A and B are shown apart, each in its own frame.
Chain A
Amino acid sequence: MSDAMIAIQDVTKAFGPIRAVDEVSFEIGRGEFFSLLGPSGCGKTTLLRMLAGFEIPTAGEILIDGQPMSAVPPNQRPTNMVFQSYAIFPHLNVRDNIGYGLVRMKPSKAELNATVDRALELIKLPGYSDRMASQLSGGQRQRVALARALVCRPKVLLLDEPLGALDKKLREEMQLELRQIQREVGITFVFVTHDQEEALTMSDRIAVMSKGKVLQIDSAAALYEQPNCREVAEFIGTMNVFEGRLLGVAGGVARVDAGPAGELLAPVNGAADLAPGAAVSVAVRPEKLEIAASRPANGNAISGRRLAEAYLGDRSHYYVGAEGLPKPIAAAAQNKQRALTSGASGETVWVHWPVEAGVLLER
């Protein structure tokens, strides 16, 4: 029997003929910062709401801390949620908002005030207790929503795209703060977002979802370096993908006929047993590519002509167009090495990478 905080077992949620969540099973461990990542409509919010109790699974079971939740309404679950719109009660001030969930336990006034004050310290808004919602900025409301949920001491905190409405700088600040708070408080966080950078920054593990199914669950690094399918590979970061046919596998290395890109080699991750002739792709991250004037001896190499460059301050992206390929190859390099990688538009170059840097995926 596993010691998972949340166990999701074959959960499906159907709205009529449409399956928003399709036979999903996985576990979330205690104290984990776990993210549900995916494009809109992938089912992540529906899944979160099923954890909270606002949606009921059409099939399957959800267990929180070993207890089945199918008969438990949202107000009795050991979870609390930070809503996308923050849902701060407009007719109550900050103090009453934060203390809202504690009132029914009938604590003494001193206790209640002490708890609220501690919470205000945690979210770095001391002295704001008498303000009303209309007097708070978006970021402040978000923090009040967080405090309000945390004072109830839930076993699991659910966050529904809480940073979506904030501007970039504030969002980045809040990402770090949330992570810190989670470490301090030590409870399990389940975080829903469509922003893959956000998920990668904050999470211990990420579940990438698409069309109701979970594609891959892994740490940020594993998802980035070893995506298990094309969808995950292209959703996280940028990926160069060369489509082709599998020629053969020898010594853990696959030979792929990638058409206009030539013959490419890629390590086999051991996942699927693919037969020669299978439709596959060789995928490689831009920062793993190097640009050279002549074809190097080892590794994969493709010849092409420089198209455009994009300067991004700390790094640059270089685009190389190769004959017959539908999209330009994107290479990225730190600008420390700019002298080595930059060049004139139209120049013929070789884009190359070591075999281990690539990934073999099903087409």
Chain B
Amino acid sequence: MRSQTISRLLTIFAFAYLAFLYVPVLLLPLFSFNDNIYVTFPLKGFTWKWYQSMAANQPLINALVASIQVGFAVSVVSTVIGMLAAMGLTRYQFPGKGLITSTIMLPLVIPYIILGISLLSLARQVLNIDLSLWTIVAAHVLVCVPLSMLVLIARMEGFDKSLEEASLDLGESAWRTFWRVTFPLAIPGIVSSFLLCFSTSFDEFVLAFFLSGTESTLPIYMYSLLRFPAKVPGALALASCILLGSIIVIVFAEWYRRRGIQAQQEGLV
């Protein structure tokens, strides 16, 4: 029957597609254990040495620390701003909401190269500030606030507005209402926003590249490695570690999110 053939083809396609998505990326760990400076077949032998050299590699460690610091700062700032914006948009009525929302989403559709270069001009020529990790943080916050807001709006719209009114009605101030009602219920969204902003900042190359001063973030460091064939295996080892780390974080994040949705569906909201 035709529909069965289509079904089977579709299934084969799905698995092939998964292979297509993963094989190129999985080659990285594969060659990171290969005892060969050149990334080439045939495989020569298993070795940990590329990983071991990572531990002693000071510039790498500095870049990693820098990326974590930037990522953390960006997540915190973006989530706070995104949360405020999400509350403003979901809990209040005022004209121009659509326009404001579209404006805040704009950084998502402007090519990063243009943003990077424009911000560079602003920083150096107009404001005359030095480039540093902080300029990177600022740029990343710009592109992470829309993401944070999207995640938090979805979460805020998911729960009953009368809950906050009930809290006010029962005598709590707006400040305490936020901490006793809004914040606890928004936590899944806040965690998601945090993870989203952190990973976006952690991987981001273009903006960091244009706005970095003396300190590099991890992507910038990795990019520099790729110019030298001798350093490529080290880059592979680094890439594989990042890959593993991302997988762990994503699995956790997705599990956490599903748990939140399940709780919601059990009549919680």
- Physical contact A–B (CB less than 8 Å): yes
Using a CB–CB cutoff of 8 Å, the interface residues on chain A facing chain B are 52-54, 73-76, 79-81, 83-85, 87, 89-91, 100-101, 104, 132-134, 148-149, 152
Contact A80 B170 (CB under 8 A): yes
Which A residues touch B174, using CB under 8 A?
75
Instruction: Please choose the segment from B19-27, B99-107, B145-153, B158-166 that sits at the chain A interface, where 4 or more of its residues have CB less than 8 A away.
Output: B158-166
Q: Are A75 and B163 in contact, CB atoms less than 8 angstroms apart?
A: no
A148 touches B165 (CB 8 A): no
Contact of B176 with A104 in the complex, beta carbons under 8 Å: yes
B181 at the interface (CB under 8 A from A): yes
Contact yes or no, A83 B171, CB < 8 A: no
Name the one of A54, A101, A132, A133 contacting B171, with C-beta atoms under 8 angstroms. Answer: A101
Which B residues lie within 8 Å of A132 (CB)?
A: 268
Whether A87 contacts B173 by the Cβ 8 Å rule is no
CB < 8 Å neighbour of B267 from A54, A101, A133? A133
Per the 8 Å Cβ criterion, residues 169-204 of B in contact with A are: 169-174, 176, 180-181, 184-185
- Known pairs A100-B167, A101-B170; A87 contacts B269 (CB<8 A): no
With A and B bound together, what is the CA distance between A320 and B245 in angstroms?
82
A83 and B162 contact, CB distance less than 8 A: yes
Residue pair A75, B172 in contact (C-beta under 8 Å): yes
Q: How far is the CA of A152 from the CA of B168 in the complex (A)?
A: 12
Complex Cα spacing A81 to B169, Å: 7
Query: B168, B184, B267: which contacts A91 (Cβ < 8 A)?
Result: B184
Chain B contacts for A52, CB-based, 8 A: 169
- The reply to whether A85 and B162 contact each other, CB–CB distance below 8 Å, is yes
CB distance A87 to B160 under 8 Å? yes
| Chain B positions 114-128 with a Cβ under 8 Å from a chain A Cβ | none
Q: Which residues of B contact A74 (CB under 8 A)?
A: 165, 168-169
Interface contact A75-B165, CB-CB below 8 Å: no
A90 touching B268 in the complex, CB below 8 Å, given contacts A81-B166, A83-B165, A85-B160: yes
Count of A-B contacts judged by CB separation below 8 Å? 67
Q: What are the interface flags for B258-269 relative to A under an 8 Å C-beta threshold, 1 for contact and 0 otherwise? A: 000001001111
C-alpha gap A90/B182 in the complex (Å)? 11
A-B residue pairs in contact (CB < 8 Å), sample of 15: A52-B169, A73-B168, A75-B171, A75-B173, A81-B165, A85-B160, A89-B166, A90-B185, A91-B184, A101-B172, A132-B268, A134-B263, A134-B266, A148-B170, A152-B170
Q: Which residues of A contact B185 (CB under 8 A)?
A: 90-91
Contacts of B184 in A (CB 8 A): 91
13 further contact pairs, Cβ within 8 A, besides A73-B168, A149-B169: A53-B169, A54-B168, A74-B169, A83-B162, A83-B165, A85-B160, A87-B166, A89-B167, A90-B163, A100-B170, A104-B171, A104-B176, A152-B171
Flag if B267 contacts A75 (CB, 8 Å).
no
From B170, B174, B266, B268, residue with most partner A Cβ within 10 Å: B170
Residues of A within 8 A of B168 (CB): 54, 73-75
Residue of A nearest to B177 (CB): A75
User: Bound complex: CA of A127 vs CA of B171, how far in Å?
Assistant: 26
Q: Please give, as numbers and ranges, the residues of chain B lying within 8 Å of A76 by CB-CB distance.
A: 171
CA distance A13 to B198 in the complex (A): 47
Closest B residue to A138 by beta carbon equals B267
- Chain A: minimal CB distance from B182 (Å): 11
Kindly list chain A residues whose C-beta atoms are within 8 Å of the C-beta of B172.
75, 100-101, 104
What are the residues of chain A within 8 A of B163 when measuring CB–CB?
Answer: 87, 89-90
Contacting pair A75 B169 (CB below 8 A) = yes
Most chain A CB atoms below 10 A, which of B162, B166, B181:
B166
For A91, the closest partner residue in chain B by CB is: B184
Chain B residue with Cβ nearest A148: B170
A14 to B186, CA, bound (A): 33
User: Which residues of chain B are near A100, meaning CB under 8 Å?
Assistant: 167, 170, 172, 180
Complex CA gap A53/B170 in Å reads 12
Bound together, the chains give a CA A297 to CA B33 distance in angstroms of: 113
A134 to B159, CA, bound (A): 14
CB neighbours of A148 from chain B (8 A): 170
Whole-angstrom distance between the Cβ of B262 and the nearest chain A Cβ: 11
Nearest first, the 10 A-B pairs at minimum CB distance are A101-B170, A87-B166, A87-B162, A90-B268, A134-B267, A83-B162, A75-B168, A74-B168, A81-B169, A91-B184
Nearest-neighbour CB distance to chain A for B168, whole angstroms, equals: 5
Residue of B nearest to A160 (CB): B162
| A94 CB, nearest partner CB in chain B, Å | 14
* Complex alpha-carbon distance, A74 and B171, angstroms: 7
Complex Cα distance, B268 from A134, in Å, reads 5
User: In the assembled complex, how far is the CB of residue A86 from the closest CB belonging to chain B, in whole angstroms?
Assistant: 8
Which residues from chain A contact B173 at a C-beta distance below 8 Å? 75
CB distance from B166 to the nearest CB of A (A): 4
In the complex, what residues of A have CB within 8 A of residue B180's CB? 100
- Residue of A at shortest CB range from B170? A101
Tell me how far the C-beta of A131 lies from the nearest C-beta in chain B, rounded to whole angstroms.
Answer: 12
Query: How distant is B159 from chain A, measured CB to nearest CB, in Å?
Result: 8
Q: Would you give the shortest CB distance from A160 to chain B, in whole angstroms?
A: 9
Do the beta carbons of B165 and A54 come within 8 Å of each other?
yes
Residues of B within 8 A of A84 (CB): 162
Instruction: Give CA–CA (A85, B163) in the complex, Å.
Output: 9
A97→B38 CA distance, assembly (Å): 65
Q: Within 8 Å CB of A54, what residues of B?
A: 165, 168-169
Report Cα–Cα, A152/B166, bound state, in Å: 12
A52 to B159, CA, bound (A): 21
Closest to B174 in A: A75
> Which residue on A lies nearest to B185, using beta carbons?
A91
- Give the distance in Å from the alpha carbon of A75 to the alpha carbon of B263 in the complex: 30
**In the complex the two chains form, what is the Cα distance from A100 to B181 in whole Å?**
11
Nearest A-chain residue to B184, judged by Cβ: A91
Asked if B268 and A133 sit within 8 Å, CB to CB, the answer is: yes
- Please report the C-alpha to C-alpha distance between residue A104 and residue B176 in the assembled complex, in whole angstroms: 9
Contact present for A89 and B267 (CB under 8 Å): no
In the bound complex, CA of A342 to CA of B179 (Å)? 67
